Amino acid sequence: MMTDLAPDIARWWDRIDEELGSLEANPEFEHDALRSNGLFDVYKVRMTSLGNYVIAAWLSVPKGDGPFPAIMYAPDYMSVVTPAPYEFRARAITLSVISRGQRGADKPYAAAFPGHLTVGITDPDTYIFRGVIADAIRSWEVLCDHPKVDTERMAIIGTDLGLLVNARRPGARAMHLKSSFWYRSLEIAAGSDAYPHEELNDHLRTWPEQRDAVTRTLAHLDPIHQADRVTAKVLIYREQASRVQSDTWFTPLTSRFATEPVFLDMTHFGQTDYDAVDAWLAAELGMPAFPRTWVAQDIGAWSV
């Protein structure tokens, strides 16, 4: 089925590119004095995305002339989006994408959680995530155009939705892939009753006759079809005992990347794992590491 679908999927992505290309982003940057300080300025951004939908983002720009490394936080599956963590805002330009349906971009469409994952899911052209992935791509374009961004030092943090952005708009030097979401999504759902993938189980339990259509739609977002376009160096959390985070799980995807991925074996001590990612990203982007265990030392050096 994958082989048969490949031309349809390619055309689907090309149409997204064409439609985005025909629309000006026209970003507007509103300075947020409350969230700005002596280290960085924060802006609320509004921009036009697919279907003339107005999406948003939190942009933070370090004080100074730049250029600065830049990091995009791809949309996670949740309603709330906040500015990037302080320690990243202190070192880099950060853009936290607020895609359609999330708070801050919820007019006219306010996403329900649960519910968002299956809106229009029986047809790839009506699926809500056709718009969401376009929103992430559009945000990346806006970030690239920012005059203080060092385009040689850009990164993405997020689920494999971020991989899709990199596949369609090369330029990121590095990406931290936090988890699979769209890669083999029905397999993730089949082995779990945890939300958000449980939404897929709910849908198929209620409308089993739609399984083929849902499978077809989800294939359009599966990064396996875009893997040979991924150019960023990708850091991946790995756990060999996990069904969905092992080498066996990832190899069909990662073996097609242009650059060998880097695997980080999870310790499950959250801050230890987080600091390891920070150190890797800092090295890739040429900025100082900022381990979060800093809170056990001295926050004064990073305060204003």
Binding site for another protein (CB under 8 A): 33-35, 37, 78-80, 82-83, 85-87, 103-104, 110, 112-114, 193-195, 198, 202-203, 205-206, 267-272, 274, 292-293, 295-300, 302-303
H or E element that contains 167: helix 160-168
8-state DSSP, 95: E
Helix (H, G, I), strand (E, B), or coil: what is residue 187? helix
Consecutive H or E run containing 263: strand 262-265
Closer residue to another protein, CB minimum distance, 3 or 206:
206
User: Smallest gap, in angstroms, from Cβ of residue 266 to another protein?
Assistant: 9
Task: State the minimum distance, in angstroms, from the CB of residue 41 to another protein.
Answer: 13
Nearest to another protein of 151, 201 (CB atom): 201
Structure tokens at 190: 């089949």
CA–CA distance, 298 with 173 (Å, rounded to integer)? 31
178 or 256: CB nearest another protein: 178
- Cα separation, 35 vs 84, whole angstroms: 11
User: What kind and span of H or E run contains 10?
Assistant: helix 2-21
Q: Are 162 and 136 in contact (CB under 8 A)?
A: yes
Task: For the CB of residue 147, give the shortest distance to another protein in the complex, in Å.
Answer: 26
| Closest distance to another protein from the beta carbon of 176 (Å) | 16
Between 192 and 231, name the residue whose CB sits nearer to another protein.
Answer: 192
Instruction: Give the residue with the Cβ less far from another protein, 35 or 46.
Output: 35
Q: In which residue are the tokens 């920012």 written? A: 146
Nearer to another protein, 1 or 33 (CB): 33
Nearest approach, Cβ of 50 to another protein (angstroms)?
24
Collapse the DSSP code of 143 into the 3-class scheme (helix H, G, I; strand E, B; otherwise coil) and give the result. helix
Both ends of the chain: CA-CA distance in Å?
57
* Closest distance to another protein from the beta carbon of 287 (Å): 17
Q: Between the CA of residue 124 and those of 13, 68, 102, what are the distances in Å?
A: 10, 37, 20
